[in-house]
Structure 1
Amino acid sequence: MIKKLILPALLLSISIGNAQGKKTKTYEVASPEGKNKIQFQLVDNAPKYSVNHGKIQVITPSDMGFMLKNNEDFSKNFDVVKVENSTFDETWQQVWGEKKKIRNHYNQMVVKLQQKNAEKRKLEIQFRAYDDGIAFRYVYPKQGTKDSIFIMDEKTTFNLKEDGKAWWIPAYKENRYEYLYKDSPVSTLDTVHTPLTVESKSGLKLSFHEANLIDYASTTLVNNTGTQLKTDLVPWADGVKVRVKDTFTSSWRTLQIGENAGDLIESYLILNLNEPNKLGNPSYVKPFKYFGIWWAMHIGKYTFWEGEKQGATTDHAKDYIDFTAKEGLHHLLIEGWNKGWTPAWYENKMHMFSFTQSADNFDLDKVVEYGKEKGVELIGYHETGSNLINYMKQIDAGFALYKKLGIHTVKIGHVGSKLNMKEWHHGQFGVNYFRYVLQKAAEYDLAVFYHEPIKDTGERRTYPNMLAREAARGQEYNAWSEGNPPNHVVILPFTRMLSGPMDYTPGVLDVEIKQGYPGKRVHGTTAQQLAMYVCFYSPIQMLADLPENYAVPAFQFLKDVPTDWTDTKVLNAEIGQYITTARKDRNSDDWYLGSMTNEKARDISVPLTFLDSKATYEAQIYADAEGTDETHNPSAVAISKKTVKASDVLKLHLGGAGGTAVRFKKL
């Protein structure tokens, strides 16, 4: 049942002395249980905010505002015109997700400012205090502006009270978000992407990000001095950060605050800051698992392009459909089905793909029809090569073809360092493009997952046809590069995945990649690959390996594990070291557990208190076999069963770079 409550709240204000000894009025808003508090004041007529978690000051007074075109300073010379406080409390239900019902409970303070100069520009700053963090955004209301507004810089800073360890990837690099995370002190950072996760010296776990990004540039963070992080909006090619008319609303600047690492994952602040569902419960939006020929292409068995080793042929597609149907799954992805693929398809140039014409040796109509006979639906694929001029000319025809064929999901790729070889994927141009395509897809009853995308800022709440995206270094790097080190997979849940579902493409059970490029392999165990389906959240999960590599008993877990959940609990975790996550199936009484570690072997005790205290369960356990780790018999999985209940403690042994996956089947 949804409950909504909007109440007036008393405005809290106090007077304190600033550095010059003057009295200045301070306004504050605290979260519902008082865990987090935001203070706002004008210091020499410039807006400043600070943040406390309990008795710990997290953010000391920090700058706000903008620089506009012609060096116009929109960050000072303000008066406070009005301050409004309110409370909001509702529980809303996700169409699909890692948790079915989410409570959105916050206290809000809206500060209305006006400059004292002749233009008398107005600015509204909205602050929200949650028990799992804080957020604020800027609203520039309509006020008779005749010319377009050009934002040249956003002056928002986060002045951390103390230094801490940050897990980060660099911004403004050719491979977008696809880099290995490094950890180093905040005070040593350059310019980095968000989510940026920090463990402060006081032990708090912090995540800086943004939510509800619409018609605005995405933010990166730059360290210029001490432990200060400053917003650095991703620019257009001409250097302008944001160009709008009449009015603008920034994305929410978000700071999630946890006392342990799992608190960050169990926070739904990013989703809560997005607008409610605009699509209802569309029948074409469904969580699922899928097979594909993608991995065979990455390990060199097949090619994306036409030729002797062409992957996308009618015969290959039928073989994969037969396998998908035999294993009881219903979705299959075939990349390379269309014209335009060449051996240089991934290089930076304006590639010319067709989105309606089938490649030689591939008959789209026949493949779709054969799939329907077998109960297998094809997933569409559009690789744009970042040539959006070409894509926009064909998008309606491409989507209409899929609707005609009864295809309801499309993967859309954007390989290339810049869109149209000119604009960043995460500038205002890219932000608007990706949202436009999402809305366009809904017109054709299509759900979407993006590769090489803009990062997630919670759009899936508003548009549940936004299933997942890549936006990080995924499994494919194990196929043809030095690979992802063992700690990568226990960093991702606390960094990239705090923004939203990731299409990591797990499920490679032949971790030594015997059919692939010499010397390339997955730096982890098969049991760890199983655990990813619980530890890595996505409503769509690929079973990435070759069909013949699934002829092993451990494959049963991948057939059983769902992709839609009622509840999620992080049972124990340390960033970059290990994680144990439990999730309850939305469509049964079963729970699933995944536990993963970095290169260090671990023994972990897991209290099963999340289980129904009145029930008994069969624990179906898939663990690293004795003596197994990344380099010793990594494919060996020990499968066992035992009867358990909520009062029990499950003891797990994880080999180095290993894992354990468990299904708790209610008896």
Structure 2
Amino acid sequence: MKNVLLLIVLFLLAGFVEAEELVSPNGMQKLQFEVVDGKPVYQLYYKGKAVIAASSLGLDLKDEADLLNGFEIEKTEQSTFDESWKPVWGEVSEIRNHYNELAVTLRQTETDRLMVVRFRLFDDGLGFRYEFPEQPNLIYFVIKEEKTQFAMTGNHTAWWIPGDYDTQEYSYTKSKLSEIRGLMQQAVTPNASQTPSSPTGVQTALMLKTDDGIYINLHEAALINYACMHLDLDDQNMIFTTHLTPDSRGDKGYMQAPCTSPWRTIIVSDKAGDILLSHITLNLNEPCKIEDTSWIKPMKYIGVWWEMITGKSSWAYADLPSVQLGVTDYSKVSPNGKHAANTAHVKEYIDFAALHGFDGVLVEGWNEGWEDWFGKSKDYVFDFVTPYPDFDLEEIRDYANAKGVQMIMHHETSGSVRNYERHMDQAYQFMVDHGYPAVKSGYVGDIIPRGETHYSQYIVNHYQYAIEKAADYKVMVNAHEAVRPTGICRTWPNLIGNESARGTEYEAFGGNTPDHTTILPFTRQIGGPMDYTPGIFEQDVSKYNPDNNSWVNSTIARQLALYVTMYSPLQMAADLPETYNKYLDAFQFIKDVPVDWDDSKVLEAEPGDFITYARKEKGTDNWFVGRTNDEEARTSSISLDFLPEGAEYVATIYADRKDAHYRNNPKAYQINRYVVTSKTRLDLFCAPGGGYAISLIKADAATDLKGIRKR
């Protein structure tokens, strides 16, 4: 009997003799790492409960021995880091970066190769990555697949979109993990470019909730010189495994030591709002590399855009089946009469921007080549500097300058990244010469070089090249259809906006679901701000284009709320000026709401149901509140206890009326003003597809409070 017990003890010790533990600064999170039978394995606990069960680590390499097993621990190092840093722009004015770190150096005994797994455990979750030191036996290598696991502890609820190498522009599906495979076919809806990854593949940031109310978010940070990560689910064992985007040859990454992978992130809390307030993604990126950031300034803008999206107007100047830059003579062709980017019309937008205090005007379709830009796999598609005959660059530039308005450039690449790089220096210099501070870039359609996809290592490197090159010219970048953000805006804050998700334009392509904007902050925005282009006041798209029967699934009150809940330092008032002129009382909130913040708080949150944010305007004592609601009518109950004690504020509340509904009465809103304090509580009705927006302006001695009721 003693011998049997001894064997059992020896067996257990053999499995756990190399275990290492790391605890978060507040003691709530715990990491356990061990090498079991030569395989590196980690587990994560929150408040004593496992949230990630035993999960293996490593990479499968091409044409050489893998980095999955045969390891022993050579050394471990633990350390603590605690600093605070100030973002150039953001949701808060200062971010604390506080973590405990465990660096495990692993040696593969048969090959004598080294691999370091570095863990950083924060109060709100875990980040870890692979590091490959300079060494004689591992220099150049090709990744066949990364095999990082995230083992779930149950059949959790997930908010997910299909894994895809080319697009994130999908509606979210809420389901149990076990239901993903069965729902995948209907979740993959048509897109201009798409390459679904696998029958159970999903994209990050992935939002999860356990049956006992623990929220888990899986994502990545600092995606540099590496392929974008998807997650494949083993739905028998509830284990996610990384699935990297392949290049045109099917390879997942070309590496040269010393090098690292991106960070894999796991944010954990029993409060949904804590997921939204986490700064793990930013903290795992390097500090700002731009020495002088004075030229990087958040902007609020309008644009010649929505009228083309709805089909009211055209990007193209003429109706031609084919054009060739430098060959087609536009002065000899007849215009189609629908081209929106003409001098007189753009001046109208500039006038509107100047009248209402907007910083900039975006104009799409100003440059030659739009007649046959899409779907032709066309390499030399745009040159980004040659205007159509009806767009006078100098006249518009001078007119905008005289009005105190800045023009925002548009570079649609049509997926031809080779052509964009061919013209990039010239295009950015053109912007400098004409005073354009920011560019909206686009990557609609299949990628050229042919065979590459939007999220492979090669194309990820192109996006990074564009950002860094833009910084050389002091140009801010708002990238659409690019890879999803992973916090790189900390290092390169001239990346002032991204799309990389299903945005407002889909409201004109059939509509987004009412719960869409209650999910995006938990998923897409974990990596950075989104240029969602809110502010649509006319829900019936046929009013602009009788051939388009789409409907914007939102009340006007919720469109206002999105300026607070969908954070971006680059915010668009996306509807047409003539529509805003009909609702100037509601439009006032869009004029008032800032785009840069000193502080942010989540007052209420549940993914897929509702989110209520309160944000403090940078450099003032004013606060703004926004609530986005799903398809179910609800009452929002909030306290204003974030206001300074004893101070009085004038609250202007833009809310749904009781009869409001996103489908049959979206324009039913009401505006009320009250004097409020930190002791005020508000109960506000939120219609289906509705919400509310509140401006809280601090009263001073000169503020006239007569006739304003106190709450």
Instruction: Decide which of 573, 577, 580 is 1:550's aligned counterpart.
Output: 580
The answer to whether residue 533 in structure 2 is matched with residue 508 in structure 1 is no
Q: Cα deviations across residues 441-468 of structure 1 (Å, max 9, x unaligned)?
A: 0000101010001110001111110111
The answer to whether residue 192 in structure 2 is matched with residue 199 in structure 1 is no
Q: CA deviation at 1:171?
A: 1.4
Contact 1:80/1:112 (CA < 8 Å) preserved in 2? Answer: yes
State the SS of the aligned residue for 1:554: helix
Q: Cα deviations across residues 268-298 of structure 1 (Å, max 9, x unaligned)?
A: 1100000011114522211111000100111
Pairs within 5 Å for 1:300-319: 300-306=311-317, 307-319=336-348
Q: Kindly provide the amino acid, as one letter, of the partner of residue 541 in structure 1.
A: Q
Instruction: Decide which of 160, 168, 171 is 1:177's aligned counterpart.
Output: 168
Matching residue of 1:216: 226
Contact 2:115/2:132 (CA < 8 Å) preserved in 1? Answer: yes
Q: CA deviation at 1:17?
A: 7.3
Cα distance in 1 for partners of 2:685, 2:310 equals: 31
Q: Kindly provide the amino acid, as one letter, of the partner of residue 509 in structure 1.
A: F
Q: 1:347 to 1:188 in 2, by over 3 A?
A: farther
Q: Kindly provide the amino acid, as one letter, of the partner of residue 369 in structure 1.
A: D
Contact 1:169/1:180 (CA < 8 Å) preserved in 2? Answer: yes
Cα distance in 2 for partners of 1:40, 1:48 equals: 6
Deviation larger for 147-156 or 650-659? 147-156
Cα distance in 1 for partners of 2:685, 2:567 equals: 23
Contact 1:351/1:385 (CA < 8 Å) preserved in 2? Answer: no
Q: What is the count of residue pairs matched by the alignment?
A: 650
Cα distance in 2 for partners of 1:17, 1:641 equals: 73
Q: CA deviation at 1:419?
A: 4.5
State the SS of the aligned residue for 1:476: helix
The answer to whether residue 165 in structure 2 is matched with residue 168 in structure 1 is no
Instruction: Decide which of 605, 610, 614 is 1:578's aligned counterpart.
Output: 610
Contact 1:34/1:131 (CA < 8 Å) preserved in 2? Answer: yes
Matching residue of 2:464: 435
Instruction: Decide which of 246, 256, 260 is 1:249's aligned counterpart.
Output: 260
Contact 1:487/1:597 (CA < 8 Å) preserved in 2? Answer: yes
Matching residue of 2:395: 366
Matching residue of 1:604: 636
Q: CA deviation at 1:489?
A: 1.4
Matching residue of 1:89: 82
The answer to whether residue 669 in structure 2 is matched with residue 637 in structure 1 is yes
Q: Kindly provide the amino acid, as one letter, of the partner of residue 245 in structure 2.
A: V
Q: 1:163 to 1:567 in 2, by over 3 A?
A: same
User: Which sections of structure 1, spanning at least 5 residues, go unmatched?
Assistant: 1-14
TM-score (norm 2): 0.89
Q: CA deviation at 1:75?
A: 1.2
Q: Cα deviations across residues 174-201 of structure 1 (Å, max 9, x unaligned)?
A: 5x00000001222343101100010112
Q: Cα deviations across residues 482-514 of structure 1 (Å, max 9, x unaligned)?
A: 210101111111111111100110001112232
Instruction: Decide which of 114, 119, 132 is 1:140's aligned counterpart.
Output: 132
Q: 1:329 to 1:21 in 2, by over 3 A?
A: closer
Matching residue of 1:535: 565
State the SS of the aligned residue for 1:342: helix
Deviation larger for 434-443 or 240-249? 240-249
Q: Kindly provide the amino acid, as one letter, of the partner of residue 106 in structure 2.
A: L
Q: Kindly provide the amino acid, as one letter, of the partner of residue 183 in structure 1.
A: K
State the SS of the aligned residue for 1:25: coil
Q: Kindly provide the amino acid, as one letter, of the partner of residue 653 in structure 2.
A: I
Q: CA deviation at 1:406?
A: 1.6
The answer to whether residue 23 in structure 2 is matched with residue 30 in structure 1 is yes
Matching residue of 2:689: 657
Q: Kindly provide the amino acid, as one letter, of the partner of residue 500 in structure 1.
A: G
Contact 2:534/2:559 (CA < 8 Å) preserved in 1? Answer: yes
Q: 1:22 to 1:394 in 2, by over 3 A?
A: closer
Cα distance in 2 for partners of 1:327, 1:647 equals: 34
The answer to whether residue 654 in structure 2 is matched with residue 622 in structure 1 is yes
Contact 2:165/2:245 (CA < 8 Å) preserved in 1? Answer: no
Task: Please provide the CA RMSD for this pair.
Answer: 1.6
Instruction: Decide which of 504, 507, 517 is 1:478's aligned counterpart.
Output: 507
Pairs within 5 Å for 1:16-55: 22-55=15-48
Matching residue of 2:123: 131
Cα distance in 2 for partners of 1:243, 1:379 equals: 36
Contact 1:144/1:246 (CA < 8 Å) preserved in 2? Answer: no
Q: CA deviation at 1:518?
A: 4.1
Matching residue of 1:11: none
Q: 1:202 to 1:17 in 2, by over 3 A?
A: farther
Cα distance in 2 for partners of 1:450, 1:486 equals: 25
Q: Percent identity?
A: 41
The answer to whether residue 522 in structure 2 is matched with residue 494 in structure 1 is yes
Cα distance in 1 for partners of 2:228, 2:93 equals: 28
Q: 1:648 to 1:642 in 2, by over 3 A?
A: same
Cα distance in 1 for partners of 2:257, 2:675 equals: 64
Cα distance in 2 for partners of 1:207, 1:246 equals: 30
Cα distance in 2 for partners of 1:35, 1:339 equals: 58
Cα distance in 1 for partners of 2:399, 2:20 equals: 65
Q: CA deviation at 1:217?
A: 1.0
Q: CA deviation at 1:308?
A: 1.5
Cα distance in 1 for partners of 2:206, 2:267 equals: 10
Matching residue of 2:321: none
Matching residue of 1:519: 549
Contact 1:187/1:228 (CA < 8 Å) preserved in 2? Answer: no
TM-score (norm 1): 0.95
State the SS of the aligned residue for 1:153: strand
The answer to whether residue 353 in structure 2 is matched with residue 324 in structure 1 is yes
Cα distance in 1 for partners of 2:537, 2:145 equals: 48
Q: Cα deviations across residues 221-278 of structure 1 (Å, max 9, x unaligned)?
A: 0012421000111111111111022332000000011212111101011000000111
Contact 2:16/2:35 (CA < 8 Å) preserved in 1? Answer: no
State the SS of the aligned residue for 1:534: helix
Deviation larger for 619-628 or 540-549? 619-628
Cα distance in 2 for partners of 1:17, 1:634 equals: 69
Deviation larger for 588-597 or 415-424? 415-424
Matching residue of 2:479: 450
Q: 1:23 to 1:637 in 2, by over 3 A?
A: closer
State the SS of the aligned residue for 2:313: coil
Deviation larger for 165-174 or 299-308? 165-174
Cα distance in 1 for partners of 2:490, 2:356 equals: 32
Matching residue of 1:260: 271
Deviation larger for 528-537 or 511-520? 511-520
Contact 1:187/1:226 (CA < 8 Å) preserved in 2? Answer: no
Q: CA deviation at 1:360?
A: 2.1
Q: 1:104 to 1:601 in 2, by over 3 A?
A: same
Cα distance in 1 for partners of 2:661, 2:632 equals: 9
Contact 1:108/1:126 (CA < 8 Å) preserved in 2? Answer: yes
Q: Cα deviations across residues 569-602 of structure 1 (Å, max 9, x unaligned)?
A: 1101111111111000003211000012111111
Q: CA deviation at 1:107?
A: 0.1
Contact 2:529/2:569 (CA < 8 Å) preserved in 1? Answer: yes
Cα distance in 2 for partners of 1:523, 1:22 equals: 55
Q: Kindly provide the amino acid, as one letter, of the partner of residue 624 in structure 1.
A: D
State the SS of the aligned residue for 1:589: coil
Q: CA deviation at 1:160?
A: 1.1
Contact 2:16/2:34 (CA < 8 Å) preserved in 1? Answer: no
Q: CA deviation at 1:560?
A: 0.1
Q: Kindly provide the amino acid, as one letter, of the partner of residue 546 in structure 1.
A: L
Q: Cα deviations across residues 522-544 of structure 1 (Å, max 9, x unaligned)?
A: 01100010000001000010000
The structure whose residues are more often strand, as a share, is 1
Q: Cα deviations across residues 296-355 of structure 1 (Å, max 9, x unaligned)?
A: 111112101113100111111111111111112120000111111115536655461121
Matching residue of 1:409: 438
